[in-house]
Amino acid sequence: MKRLVSGIKPTGELTLGNYIGALKNFVQLQNELEDTEFFIFIADLHAITTMQEKSNLRKNIKNIAAIYIACGLDPNKVNLFIQSEVNEHAELGYVMESTLYIGEMERMIQYKEKRANNEEAIRTSLLTYPALMAADILLYDASIVPIGEDQTQHLEITKVAATRFNHLYGETFTIPSGFTPKTGARIMGLQDPTKKMSKSADKTPKDYILLLDDLNQVRNKIKSAITDSDNKIYFDKENKPGISNLLTIYSSLTNIKIDDLVAKYENISYGEFKSDLAEIVVSELSVIQERYKEIIGKKELDLYLDKGRENAKRVASRKLKKVYERIGLGRK
Ligand code: ATP
Ligand code: LTN
């Protein structure tokens, strides 16, 4: 039986970027892959690499759990759980810190970027973050890890950690592969299409679409997305980042190839294109929002998270025990 692992940090409300780059692919893989066990979690330990207000953190954790289900993950097929409730993640995270080198951590782009924005109070865990992410994946011997493009470097370091550990202590971990969508692995901001759409960076709300945004606001955000003035629709990431980003969103949500969209919208104005796209996004989000309302606050949500935690713990504790034995920690 193969295993798939992925997680999302509860650092804010989820965006269309999270949906296209990650969530939508979790659902697609759930429906396509056979003989695969799914472990999808809420990465709350990762969230505290930066300051989180307590009540927001709690709210965001539950919110992501409900969004997972609202987007189409079937909690009877997929193990949904909260990372901090399976203590093996933190414990193997420490072992991974003792496997990876500081130089390797310091090379991580996400660390360097976040550090550049906040020179003063950088938490140590922001640097060691990839060690915890490696633990998240290796605890379950995951062979497939669906992620957006910004996480590929972290997945690479996970492979380094697994290979090094196997070499030092004998075959212990499966080397994982990333699954990144061909289109939509990096959705850009609507106001600044040269930067990633993000839920936690300091941005104007018009730059991102939240999955739970009011649908009229969604329409307005798409209509006021920054585009160039040449009024021709074609894909050119360098020179036309705005329109290229909108084409990517359109293509990801409809599965229509970008080339076919370009042909369809030849000689059509940006305004009309944006209106069509707005309706496509709205119809996708309205289904998610309906299901979200049905599940949030319900007792079932906790029961699913309990069941997910137990299943995750069973696998994770066995693995951690084996790791400790391999290293020579403790007495047996
Ligand atoms: P933050 O914005 O708080 O730094 P994030 O959104 O990058 O967080 P997560 O919420 O943990 O981080 O990301 C969950 C998944 O969504 C990851 O696989 C990530 O690669 C993907 N993702 C995030 N933003 C985008 C985006 N703009 N385009 C495509 N995928 C994305
Ligand atoms: N690092 C990811 C979230 C994350 C993750 C993981 C993704 C934490 N652990 C394990 C896949 C597998 C992020 O910041 N987006």
Q: Calculate how far, in angstroms, residue 152's C-alpha sits from the geometric centre of ligand 2.
A: 10
Q: Calculate how far, in angstroms, residue 327's C-alpha sits from the geometric centre of ligand 1.
A: 34
Q: Assign 119 a pLDDT band (cuts: 50, 70, 90).
A: low
Pocket test for ligand 1, best of 11, 18, 125, 192 (most atoms within 8 A of CB): 18
Q: Which of 294, 305, 288 is nearest to 67 (CA)?
A: 288
231 in a structural domain: yes
199 in a structural domain: no
Q: Assign 143 a pLDDT band (cuts: 50, 70, 90).
A: very high
192 in a structural domain: no
Looking at the structure, tell me whether residues 272 and 307 fall in a common domain: no
pLDDT in tens, 241-266: 999 999 999 999 999 999 999 999 99
Q: Assign 6 a pLDDT band (cuts: 50, 70, 90).
A: very high
Q: Calculate how far, in angstroms, residue 114's C-alpha sits from the geometric centre of ligand 1.
A: 14
pLDDT of residue 178: 98
Say what the pTM is: 0.96
Can 199 be counted among the known catalytic residues? Answer: yes
- Residue 17 maps to which CATH number? 3.40.50.620
Can 196 be counted among the known catalytic residues? Answer: yes
Catalytic residue among 114, 221, 240, 319: 114
Q: Calculate how far, in angstroms, residue 149's C-alpha sits from the geometric centre of ligand 1.
A: 9
In this structure, the residue with its CA closest to atom 13 of ligand 1 is 8
- Please enumerate in sequence order all residues whose Cβ is within 8 A of that of 278, keeping only pairs 6 or more positions apart, or say none: 218, 219, 222, 223
Looking at the structure, tell me whether residues 224 and 175 fall in a common domain: no
Amino acid 157 reads: I
Looking at the structure, tell me whether residues 23 and 151 fall in a common domain: yes
pLDDT of residue 155: 98
Looking at the structure, tell me whether residues 119 and 257 fall in a common domain: no
CB 45 less than 6 A from any atom of ligand 2: no
Looking at the structure, tell me whether residues 75 and 172 fall in a common domain: yes
* 184 has a pLDDT exceeding 70: yes
Per-residue pLDDT averaged across 90-114, rounded? Answer: 95
Can 114 be counted among the known catalytic residues? Answer: yes
CB 198 less than 6 A from any atom of ligand 1: yes
Pocket test for ligand 1, best of 83, 150, 152, 186 (most atoms within 8 A of CB): 150
- Residue 275 maps to which CATH number? 1.10.240.10
Percentage of the chain beyond pLDDT 70 is: 99
195 in a structural domain: no
Domain count, the chain: 2
pLDDT in tens, 36-60: 999 999 999 999 999 999 999 999 9
210 in a structural domain: yes
Looking at the structure, tell me whether residues 52 and 171 fall in a common domain: yes
* Summary mean pLDDT of the chain: 96
